[in-house]
Structure 1
């Protein structure tokens, strides 16, 4: 079943055909265009590397990327600070609301007292008007057949 083949491998495991890729040679380097004089330090240095097969690769050296500094986190989160400030503000408002409620209750009591005072004064004035002696004493007067009846008294 697993008998070796002519290549020494079991049947069913033959090697696939191998493709060989040959590298394409690089085009020759053209002479560089004349350069304008530039301040030193503005252009990075050029580095040349000789490969094992004799080719020379020239290029700019790259400085490794420096990671950005990590922002320092505050000891207390901003959310906690906002909640604390909101609590302080709410506490300050609650004191004012208690005072406002007390003021409204006192104002309502004052209005109630003024209404009672007005009723007593006005009621007293009405009582004085009704029970005061104005013109005649006694009860009601009825004129019937030229006779005058006063309360419980006949004048004929």
Structure 2
């Protein structure tokens, strides 16, 4: 008997059976197998185990890591940026020289115009105000002139 005074009668319970749901087979697309001829037939190795068994098979060479490509000490990007900076500085220097040349040329032209105005203006002033040269008209020497009857005979 059980502790709660119930008889030892087997109780029938419903049995649940779980069947796994089969998964559909995965569709695999395999690449065509191309037979590869080895360059040379590898050597067959035999190893004797401590219990006396002999294991024979091909030796497998360990995978060699890819050789590390030596990197240049300076990256190409840094070199390109540096060369661009040098070119930019050369252009800026050329522009500075160009603007200096234009400024000097402008000053020279201004001085030449001023010099021409001074020289040409001086020449015109001498022509206008100068005492030299013939004025036109008649010149009379009054000392030799003779006045008769209010009539001038020159």
Q: TM-score, normalised by structure 1?
A: 0.45
Choose 1 or 2 for highest CA Rg: 2
